Structure 1
Amino acid sequence: MKLYNLKKKKEKVSFAKAVKLGLGFNQGLFFPNKLPKIKKKYLKELLKMNFIKRSTKILSMFIGKEIPYNNLKKYVKKAFYFKGPKIVPVTNNISCLELFHGPTLAFKDFGARFMAQILSYLNNGNELVTILTATSGDTGAAVAHAFYKMKNVKIVILYPKNKISVLQEKLFCTLGENIKTIAIKGSFDDCQTLVKQAFNDKKLKKKKGLNSANSINISRLLAQICYYFEAFALIPKKYKKNLVISVPCGNFGNLTAGLLSKSLGLPIKSFIAATNTNDTIPRFLKTKKWDPKKTISTISNAMDISQPNNWPRVEELFKRKKWSLKKLGYGSVNDKITIKTLKKLKKKKYISEPHAAIAYKLLKNQITKKQYGLFLGTAHPAKFKNTIEKILNVKIKLPIELKNRANLNSLSYEMKPNFKKLRKFLLEK
């Protein structure tokens, strides 16, 4: 598999190198040189397979012979050992695709665990690797647990102080060992800027073996394609020709993966890019002007991102496939409407959380009666226990994964968004 740098297209690397580097020259994202296409006849066979076998087949289409098929299957099985996606009906023609049944109760478990397996295979445990990543909520826990106690791998996670839920924080800030966490006194965009500055520092990058586990890493992105195929396999046949998927968007990795599944040949009719008040992309799609504003804190904190990293990949895919961005659904929902939507979902006997509620609201607004809609449930409602209990006046039982960590002390450091201080930390810790 060859990938090219979106900022310097002459820079072409193998899958292994793209995984190890994370980003290319000038912080450029890697993108597949060839976009595989599944023939309709083979697609039918593929959809009959179980999740592990199908996922291995899909990933092998991108990775090729770089990882022998039997090895790849072994790593996929290790990565996706937990319960796969689940479809829960909410209305006659709308269901939630629940992706939060993994070890850290979020969709990011799929990508983070696959990346951990692949990096372990490529590294053979011999080189020192420092995974530096930023999180607006769920990435931190998924990455921390995926790489926990892994030989010669150190994890450093930056997150905006007081801007993720307490239970989200507890999941990854209480581990210790090879996991270091830093509460940055700023926004998620500040955290992302620090990560990019670190990757721009060639001496630091080489000395510490820097890599990133955000959705900028191609291994995470490819792994997420797999659950779109599983979703399509799970829905009734009568809905397969008119499927609309609404994706709650923060860094836009999840949407990119969905669009790549469509590029492969999965006949999804359309997608909706759903954001909260941090609506850079909806405004861009409407006005064609790129105008990121200061990030606003909301109850859907994982989407509190004004400069989404993966958007260049979305644009590149549309350009390569000769698709029109005008056909991409979009919209933004503020906290007030999010709260109203959570209450409406409760009346329909479905307890949701803010991110999924936003995706549901925009889906309900834009879907037709002849279409079938899926909105992505990206995190377990228990991760937002205090918020949901207050809004819905319900008691949410903590899953064991959260219960085990809820009362542990945070091991986090605190830091202003200052690169010199971060650099010193990375060199010393």
Structure 2
Amino acid sequence: MQIKRFEAENVTSALKAVKAALGPDAVILETRKIGLGGRTGVQVTAAYEPPAGGARPKPLATLPAERPAGVVDPPWARAATRAERAPAPQRAAEGGGQAPAGTVTLAEVSAAIAPLRDELSTFGARLSTLGQPAAQGEWVSMREEIGTLRTLVNDLVVDRRVAELPDTLRPLYLRLAAKGLPRDSVAELLAALPGADPARVADAIASAVPVAGPLLPRDAKRGRVLFAGPTGVGKTTTIAKLAAHYAINEKRRVALITLDTFRIGAVEQLTTYAGIIGVPSAVASDRAELRARLAEFAAMDLVLIDTAGHSPRERGPIDAIGGLGDEAVQVQLVLPATHSLEDMAETLKAYRQVAPVAMVLTKLDETARLGAALHTALSAGVPVSYLTNGQRIPEDLQLASGARLATQFLS
């Protein structure tokens, strides 16, 4: 077995070099990212089992005189030269020219990528039909998605689980990953699909999302709920939507309390909402005042408590919020769908100390990539209570369900 390393700026260029030098039956042993003089490149290690007669494979294309990206002059060529001189590993068992277990051949990679290239062609055709300024936003969005698709196609070679997926699921893998769902989650989701049927992906997502149910069930007599989360995630607006829903639609007695005495206009904003909805409101600046206000609203069915937003890195203020909740006051965490997966994970880690019983996912209308929100809903261990997708009060508030989240994610 002959083993060679090929280094290039991207996976596509490296694979072309492998195919040209070793032919279509080469086996990809390893693909990894490397540093190339301040840039990021890839190194592909490939192997080829010569025919019994010892003849070298016939290259699929003649290498240009200037040498391709995969066969380069120093410093890149040094690693490749060392690999060529290394002794070939012994085969574990007699198997002729079979690829080692767990590897992916170029032919398999090509088969995996073929349907994904069709999707890229479809996007390109759509781009060519777009009009002038009115379609500018869609053009930009589609161009970004095409960039994401191309990246995923290039990365596909290193994900062996994808190569093992049925042909019917590979385009779906690309679609879900392009929406921001981590590739590990996508692979796990598709591997569990009954009958490898793409049409059942919505049902699979829906059944996996934990939901908390309504804030105040119809048979419940009272509820006290405090909303926590970073700045600008929509806590106050969410509270207004919930207050309007329960006061107007459910005919419940509702009161609002704000602990946000830091943000300019925060008290006035909540007071204005309360006046429009027709419910009482109050201000509390610490735990003692909150207890007093809760006592004043003891006859209310539902009391919603607003808090100041704090960065996940502000441990002190978050600790203070944790001290406000008890068996009588439940805490719900508010997270925006516009946050990255890393930001959501950091926020969840910081706010776990306040022991949230559920979370509200907001701003679903402000992003087309709901993968981070869906992954958080699936993996956080905290059920989802509500979804918000706009500024209208209370229309843009939905009781969370797995089916709703799956539909919005896939749309």
TM-score interval (norm. to shorter): under 0.3
Question: Which structure: larger Rg?
Answer: 2
TM-score by length of 1: 0.22
Greater length-normalized contact order (CA 8 Å, ≥ 6 residues apart): 1
